[in-house]
Amino acid sequence: MCDEFTLESEEANLARRGLDRRAFAALSAAGAMGVALAGCSSSFAQTGDAVTEGMVSIAMDTGVCDAFFVHPAKGTHPGIVLWPDIAGLRDAFKVMARSLASQGFAVLAVNHYYRSGPSPVMESFSDYRTPEGQAKIAPMRELLTPAAITADAKRYVAFLDAQGVVAKDRKIGTSGYCMGGPFTVRTAAAVPARVGGAVSLHGAGLVTPAPDSPHRLLTQTKASYLFAIARNDDAKQPDQKTQLRAAADAAGRPAEIEVYPADHGWTVPDSPAWDPDAADKAWKQMVALFSKL
């Protein structure tokens, strides 16, 4: 997950775009990256309903979580819990949340590092790629145990269900990126009666030897799944897709499992691995799944 293996592919992706890491970091720091990429990908164009947005505070078992809540200005809509990647809740994920909301969803993009401080803990993914950024994130990640994520997921679903703009006669969905990918399965297992769709985008740690590995939890859920796997993650763990398929089939859960011709991080606009064509494809698959909630 965002290790030296993915670092090499990021460098190659930047080189193909005529950038080095310093130039990419400068674009991110200037705030230009999110704007430029949003303009060149249909994934991040607000083409649907006008939206209402704002930061919210959610009382948790272990503190107060700040989150970005955005939804269509009118009507009721399925709720979505959005788990960001390793660099946390930041402008890139607010852009994605707005776009998803404009397609008819009430989206809660969470700060999964709330135990350690308010968002943003990183302004961009480039900040994470510094030694200082990785040292900052390391102790925050240690707090995100399976039990912690399960408890948090219950609170996030409860928050959505308490909002008048969330349709109570529709299921709730969840999407997760990088380290957030397996959190979607834990969310589906935490509140199986409410969570009907889960999307993991270049998720890390979906199949592990642990007794509570996410793939072993599919039997505890009632959700449909999309597991979109990066090609370099697949090269590193080629049996992951096979084990996910076997687990989904054994649990009787519908699941799209696909290895994309793109590298880890391809769906996130401030990631060095950003691939707009592959991101659009994954976006459309995700929206199609959530439209059935």
Three-class SS string for the chain? CCCHHHHHHHHHHHHHCCCCHHHHHHHHHCCHHHHHHHHCCHHHCCCCCCEEEEEEEEEECCEEEEEEEEEECCCCECEEEEECCCCCCCHHHHHHHHHHHHCCCEEEEECCCCCCCCCCCCCCHHHHCCHHHHHHHHHHHHCCCHHHHHHHHHHHHHHHHCCCCECCCCCEEEEEEHHHHHHHHHHHHHCCCCEEEEEEECCCCCCCCCCCCHHHHHHHCCCEEEEEEEHHHHHHCCCHHHHHHHHHHHHCCCEEEEEECCCCCCCCCCCCCCCHHHHHHHHHHHHHHHCCC
Q: Is residue 43 over pLDDT 60?
A: no
Record the tokens describing residue 140, joined without a space: 């925050």
Find residue 173's DSSP bridge partners: 80, 197
Please give the average per-residue pLDDT across 90-115, as a whole number: 97
Looking at residue 122, its pLDDT comes to 96
Looking at residue 16, its pLDDT comes to 56
Looking at residue 36, its pLDDT comes to 44
Please give the average per-residue pLDDT across 173-183, as a whole number: 98
Domains and CATH numbers, the chain: 4-290 (3.40.50.1820)
Q: pLDDT over 90 for what percent of the chain? A: 83
Phi–psi pair at 111, nearest 5 degrees = -95, 95
Please give the average per-residue pLDDT across 272-278, as a whole number: 94
Q: Is residue 14 over pLDDT 50?
A: no
Please give the average per-residue pLDDT across 27-48, as a whole number: 50
Q: Is residue 263 over pLDDT 70?
A: yes
Mean pLDDT of all residues belonging to the chain: 89
Please give the average per-residue pLDDT across 259-270, as a whole number: 96
Please give the average per-residue pLDDT across 141-155, as a whole number: 98
The pTM of this model reads 0.88
Looking at residue 7, its pLDDT comes to 54
Print burial letters for 211-231: b (CB count within 10 Å at least 16), e (below 16).
Answer: eebbbbbbeebbbbbbbbbbb
pLDDT band at 256 (very low <50, low <70, confident <90, very high): very high
Q: Is residue 80 over pLDDT 90?
A: yes
* Contact predicate 124/270, CB 8 Å: yes
Looking at residue 38, its pLDDT comes to 47
Q: Is residue 97 over pLDDT 80?
A: yes
* Residue length of the chain: 293
pLDDT band at 88 (very low <50, low <70, confident <90, very high): very high
Q: Is residue 230 over pLDDT 70?
A: yes
Record the tokens describing residue 210, joined without a space: 């642990």
Q: Is residue 90 over pLDDT 70?
A: yes
Q: Is residue 20 over pLDDT 60?
A: no
Looking at residue 235, its pLDDT comes to 97
Strand 172-177 versus strand 63-72 pairing type: unpaired
152 versus 15: the higher-pLDDT residue is 152
Looking at residue 9, its pLDDT comes to 55
pLDDT band at 30 (very low <50, low <70, confident <90, very high): very low
